[in-house]
C-alpha cells in the first residue's frame, strides 16, 4: 500500500491555491522541500543555464515505490496530509500535493527513485504533464529529479525569465537559506562550471553561518536563545458542554527562539539580511519584521536595518502555513504574543551583551546594502528586496557579505568563538568571547627588556562589551567634545553629547512611566509661533508633551505658550525641541503610534537638554557622566542610533605599534 493519496475535493479546495512555479528558484524550492520532507541527510542541487536548461536535485531520503512515484504527479496527491483537520497542524514543508504536477506540466522531467527497503527503483519520464516512460532502475536509495527545458511549452512564461546570472542568484540565495535552517544536513550547489556552495553537516547553527558567511559576519553576531510556554493553545477548545468527562485541555507547548542578532555597529541599508524561519520554514513576515525593527529602535538609526537570523519553533498548530500559494507567508494564531516575545528576546540579548563598537571597525563601518537572499516568488508578494532584481548574483556582489565557497580553514579545524547557549526559561544572550590569541607573548618576568611587549592577559582580549564602562577612568577631553578614558581593555573615546543624550533619554522614559518627569516652571510663559499644520500636530501631541514635562497651551490661532519645561531645557534649546517635535510631516505623524511619538519626544528632549560638544567638563562631571552611562540599558548608541563609545582595544594598540 503506497503512502500517497489523492486528497478529496473538499480538502483540496481548502488549500491556498495559486501559481506554484514562476522561475527556476521556485522549482528548486519545491524540490528541496520535498527532499527535506523525505528525511534526506544529503541534498545536491545542480543548475545549468540559470536553471532553464537543467535543475537536478538528488537526495538520500525515503524514496518512492513505483505506485507512489506515478501518483505523485497527480494533482492534490500527497503523503503529508489526509483530512481538513490535518491542515490545522502541518508539520511538513509540503502539504498541497501541487508541486510535482505543476513542475511536470511546464518542463521535461525525469525521476529516479528507490526506497531504502526495495531492491529496484523506478525511472519515470514526463514531458508537459504526460508520462512518456516508466521503467525499472537501479541506483542508490533516495530520489533524483531532473527538470529540463523549463517553460519549453509556455513561451509567454519563458519570456519573463531574467538573465541566467539573476536566476542563478535566486537559486543560490534559496539553497543558502535552506542550508542555514538545516545545519545538520549536507548541502551542495553546483553550476555547470563551479561548486557554488558546499556545506558539510555541522551540529551548531553558528558553524553553518561560518561555513556560509565567513568569520567576519559571525564575529558581528550575538547568539540568542529564549523560550516561554504558551499560556493556552491557539486553537479554540471545544465549549464545556461538548467536552467528555475525561477531557484534558491540550498541552499549549513552548515557543522557542534561537539565532543571531547583529551588534549595533553592523548596519544594513535594507532588510535583506533579516532571515526568519518558523519551524525551519523560510518565511517573510511583517509582524516578525516589525518586532525586530522595534527591538533595535533607538539603538540603530531608523533608516538602518540589522542582520538577524531568527529561528522560531512552536507547536505546528500555533502557525497556519496554509495562507499563501507559495507557502512563504504564515499566520500566527497568537500574533501579539509571538511579536512581543521576539522583540523582548532580541532586546534582552542586546541589553545583556552591551556590545561595544571597536574604534577600528567604526572607521570603516557604514550601513551597506545587501543583496537579497530571499527570492521574489511572485509579483503579488510585495517587495522584500530593496534592490532591483537585476542585481548581480551574490557570488559577485561584495555587498552580499557572504562567500559561496567555504572559507579556510575548514570549520572542524577551528575553535569557534562561542557556542549557542542552551534554551533557558527567560530571554538570555551570551557574550561573544574572542578566542585566546595564538600569539605567545613573553611574560613580564621572562622579558625584562623595556621594548618587549607588555604583559597581556592570558585568556586574550576581553569581549568587546560595554559592561566595562563602569571601570573607566577619564583622562581628559579632546577638543572639549570627546572624553578620553582608559581601563584594562584599552583606550576609550566617548562622545559626551550622545552619552548624555542616552542617559537623559532613558531617564525621561523611566520617569514618564511613573508620571514623574522633572520639570521647571517658567517665570514668563514662552510664546512660539507655529504654522497651521504644526498647530494641528500640537493639538494631538500636547498631552504627551505634558507628560514629558513640557506644559504648553494654545495662545491664539497661531501661537502656543509654554509654561513649564523639562528640567535642563530652556530658551532657544526649548524652542528648538518643540519645533523639532512638531516638524514631522503630517502623514508621518498620522501613522505614528503612541509608542513612537513617546520615544520621539523623549529623544528630542534628551538631545536638546544634553551636554553639548565644545563644552569643557571638569573631571568630576566626566566621571559622573561615565558612571551614569554605565547604568543605562543601552549604552551602545544614542536614541538616533549613533555610537556613543568606541574602544581602541589593547590588542589593536599593540598591533599598531607592531608589538604583536
User: What is the contact surface with ligand ATP in residues (CB under 6 A)?
Assistant: 3-4, 30, 33-35, 38, 59, 61-64, 72, 77-80, 94-100, 143
Q: Which residues bind Mg ion (CB under 5 A)?
A: 34, 94, 99
Secondary element (H or E) of residue 337: helix 335-353
Q: Are 206 and 420 in contact (CB under 8 A)?
A: yes
Q: How far is the CB of 538 from Mg ion (least distance, A)?
A: 57
**Minimal CB distance residue for ligand ATP:** 94
Q: Of these partners, Mg ion, ligand ATP, none, which one is at the site of residue 503 (CB under 5 to 8 Å by kind)?
A: none
27 versus 626: smaller Cβ distance to Mg ion:
27
Q: Residues 194, 208, 80, CA angle at the centre, nearest 5°? A: 90
Q: How far is the CB of 124 from ligand ATP (least distance, A)?
A: 12
DSSP three-state, residue 148: strand
Q: How far is the CB of 42 from ligand ATP (least distance, A)?
A: 12
Q: What is d(CA 490, CA 468) in angstroms, rounded to the nearest whole number? A: 11
**Minimal CB distance residue for Mg ion:** 94
Q: How far is the CB of 91 from ligand ATP (least distance, A)?
A: 12
Q: How far is the CB of 83 from ligand ATP (least distance, A)?
A: 14
CA distances from 522 to 77, 294, 526, 552, 608 (A): 76, 36, 8, 11, 17
31 versus 630: smaller Cβ distance to ligand ATP:
31
Q: How far is the CB of 149 from ligand ATP (least distance, A)?
A: 20
30 versus 164: smaller Cβ distance to ligand ATP:
30
Q: Of these partners, Mg ion, ligand ATP, none, which one is at the site of residue 552 (CB under 5 to 8 Å by kind)?
A: none
Beta bridge partners of 429: 224
88 versus 362: smaller Cβ distance to ligand ATP:
88
Q: How far is the CB of 385 from Mg ion (least distance, A)?
A: 25
188 versus 501: smaller Cβ distance to ligand ATP:
188
Q: Are 170 and 395 in contact (CB under 8 A)?
A: no
| Residues 6 or more apart whose Cβ sits within 8 Å of residue 117 | none
Q: What is the chain's Cα-based Rg?
A: 29
Q: Of these partners, ligand ATP, Mg ion, none, which one is at the site of residue 59 (CB under 5 to 8 Å by kind)?
A: ligand ATP
Q: How far is the CB of 145 from Mg ion (least distance, A)?
A: 11
User: 58-92 burial, b if ≥16 CB within 10 A, otherwise e?
Assistant: bbbbbbbbbebbbbbbeebbbbbbeeeebbeebeb
CA distances from 365 to 173, 212, 392, 432, 524 (A): 25, 21, 23, 19, 47
Q: How far is the CB of 78 from Mg ion (least distance, A)?
A: 8
Q: Of these partners, ligand ATP, Mg ion, none, which one is at the site of residue 181 (CB under 5 to 8 Å by kind)?
A: none
Q: How far is the CB of 234 from ligand ATP (least distance, A)?
A: 22
Q: Of these partners, ligand ATP, Mg ion, none, which one is at the site of residue 429 (CB under 5 to 8 Å by kind)?
A: none
30 versus 164: smaller Cβ distance to Mg ion:
30
Q: What is d(CA 190, CA 164) in angstroms, rounded to the nearest whole number? A: 14
Beta bridge partners of 305: 268
Q: Where are the alpha helices (DSSP H) in 354-434?
A: 359-364
75 versus 467: smaller Cβ distance to ligand ATP:
75
Q: Of these partners, Mg ion, ligand ATP, none, which one is at the site of residue 95 (CB under 5 to 8 Å by kind)?
A: ligand ATP
Q: Of these partners, Mg ion, ligand ATP, none, which one is at the site of residue 305 (CB under 5 to 8 Å by kind)?
A: none
62 versus 308: smaller Cβ distance to ligand ATP:
62
Q: Are 256 and 281 in contact (CB under 8 A)?
A: no
The C-alpha cell that represents 21 in the structure block? 512555479
Secondary element (H or E) of residue 520: strand 519-529
Q: Are 526 and 578 in contact (CB under 8 A)?
A: no
99 versus 106: smaller Cβ distance to Mg ion:
99
38 versus 552: smaller Cβ distance to Mg ion:
38
Q: What is d(CA 368, CA 305) in angstroms, rounded to the nearest whole number? A: 9
Q: Of these partners, ligand ATP, Mg ion, none, which one is at the site of residue 80 (CB under 5 to 8 Å by kind)?
A: ligand ATP
Q: Of these partners, Mg ion, ligand ATP, none, which one is at the site of residue 143 (CB under 5 to 8 Å by kind)?
A: ligand ATP
Q: What is d(CA 377, CA 325) in angstroms, rounded to the nearest whole number? A: 10
Amino acid at each position: 500500500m503506497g503512502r500517497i493519496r489523492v486528497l478529496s475535493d473538499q480538502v483540496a479546495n481548502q488549500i491556498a491555491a495559486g501559481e506554484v512555479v514562476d522561475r527556476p528558484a521556485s522549482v528548486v524550492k519545491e524540490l528541496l522541500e520535498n527532499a527535506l520532507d523525505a528525511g534526506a541527510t544529503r541534498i545536491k542541487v545542480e543548475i545549468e543555464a540559470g536553471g532553464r536548461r537543467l535543475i537536478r536535485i538528488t537526495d538520500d531520503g525515503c524514496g518512492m515505490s513505483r505506485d507512489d512515484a506515478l501518483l505523485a504527479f497527480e494533482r492534490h496527491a500527497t503523503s503529508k496530509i489526509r483530512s481538513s483537520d490535518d491542515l490545522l497542524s502541518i508539520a511538513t514543508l509540503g502539504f498541497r500535493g501541487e508541486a510535482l504536477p505543476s513542475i511536470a506540466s511546464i518542463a521535461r522531467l525525469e525521476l529516479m527513485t528507490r526506497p531504502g527497503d526495495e531492491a529496484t527503483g523506478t525511472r519515470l519520464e514526463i514531458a508537459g504533464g504526460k508520462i512518456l516512460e516508466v521503467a525499472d532502475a537501479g541506483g542508490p536509495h533516495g530520489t533524483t529529479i531532473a527538470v529540463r527545458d523549463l517553460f519549453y511549452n509556455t513561451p509567454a512564461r519563458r519570456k519573463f525569465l531574467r538573465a541566467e546570472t539573476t536566476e542563478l542568484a535566486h537559486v543560490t540565495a534559496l539553497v543558502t537559506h535552506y542550508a542555514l535552517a538545516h545545519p545538520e544536513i549536507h548541502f551542495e550547489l553546483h553550476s555547470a562550471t563551479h561548486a557554488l556552495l558546499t556545506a558539510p553537516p555541522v551540529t551548531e547553527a553558528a558553524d553553518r553561518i561560518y561555513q556560509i558567511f565567513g568569520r567576519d559576519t559571525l564575529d558581528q553576531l550575538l547568539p540568542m536563545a529564549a523560550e516561554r510556554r504558551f499560556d493556552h493553545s491557539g486553537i479554540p477548545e471545544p465549549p464545556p458542554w461538548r467536552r467528555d468527562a475525561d477531557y484534558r485541555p491540550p498541552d499549549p507547548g513552548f515557543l522557542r527562539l534561537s539565532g543571531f542578532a547583529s551588534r549595533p555597529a553592523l548596519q544594513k541599508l535594507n532588510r535583506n539580511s533579516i532571515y526568519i524561519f518558523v519551524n525551519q520554514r523560510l518565511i517573510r513576515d511583517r509582524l516578525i519584521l516589525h518586532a525586530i525593527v522595534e527591538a533595535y529602535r533607538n539603538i540603530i538609526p531608523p533608516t538602518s536595518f540589522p542582520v538577524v537570523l531568527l529561528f522560531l519553533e512552536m507547536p505546528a498548530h500555533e502557525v497556519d502555513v496554509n495562507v499563501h500559494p507559495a507557502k512563504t507567508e504564515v499566520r500566527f494564531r497568537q500574533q501579539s504574543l509571538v511579536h512581543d516575545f521576539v522583540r523582548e528576546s532580541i532586546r534582552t540579548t542586546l541589553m545583556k551583551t552591551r556590545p561595544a563598537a571597536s574604534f577600528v571597525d567604526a572607521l570603516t563601518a557604514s550601513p551597506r546594502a545587501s543583496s537579497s537572499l530571499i527570492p521574489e516568488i511572485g509579483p503579488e508578494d510585495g517587495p522584500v528586496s530593496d534592490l532591483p532584481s537585476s542585481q548581480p548574483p551574490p557570488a559577485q556582489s561584495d555587498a552580499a557579505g557572504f562567500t559561496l565557497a567555504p572559507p579556510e580553514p575548514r570549520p572542524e579545524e577551528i575553535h569557534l568563538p562561542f557556542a549557542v547557549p542552551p534554551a533557558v526559561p527567560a530571554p538570555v544572550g551570551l557574550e561573544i568571547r574572542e578566542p585566546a590569541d595564538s600569539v605567545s607573548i613573553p611574560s613580564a618576568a621572562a622579558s625584562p627588556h623595556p621594548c618587549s611587549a607588555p604583559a597581556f592577559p592570558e585568556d586574550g582580549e576581553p569581549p568587546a562589551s560595554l559592561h566595562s564602562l563602569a571601570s573607566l577612568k577619564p583622562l581628559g577631553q579632546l577638543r572639549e567634545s570627546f572624553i578620553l578614558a582608559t581601563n584594562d581593555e584599552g583606550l576609550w573615546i566617548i562622545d559626551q553629547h550622545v552619552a548624555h543624550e542616552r542617559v537623559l533619554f532613558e531617564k525621561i522614559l523611566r520617569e514618564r512611566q511613573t508620571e514623574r518627569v522633572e520639570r521647571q516652571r517658567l517665570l514668563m510663559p514662552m510664546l512660539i509661533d507655529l504654522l497651521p499644520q504644526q498647530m494641528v500636530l500640537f493639538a494631538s501631541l500636547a498631552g504627551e508633551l505634558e507628560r514629558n514635562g513640557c506644559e504648553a497651551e494654545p495662545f491664539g490661532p497661531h501661537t502656543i505658550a509654554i509654561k513649564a519645561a523639562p528640567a535642563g531645557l530652556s530658551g532657544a534649546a526649548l524652542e528648538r525641541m518643540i519645533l523639532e517635535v512638531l516638524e514631522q510631516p503630517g502623514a508621518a505623524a498620522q501613522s505614528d503610534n503612541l509608542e513612537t511619538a513617546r520615544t520621539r519626544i523623549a529623544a528630542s528632549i534628551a538631545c536638546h537638554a544634553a551636554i553639548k560638544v565644545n563644552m569643557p567638563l571638569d573631571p568630576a562631571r566626566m566621571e559622573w557622566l561615565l558612571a551614569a552611562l554605565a547604568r543605562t540599558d543601552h549604552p551602545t548608541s544614542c536614541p538616533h542610533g549613533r555610537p556613543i563609545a568606541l574602544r581602541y582595544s589593547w590588542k589593536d594598540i599593540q598591533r599598531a605599534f607592531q608589538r604583536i
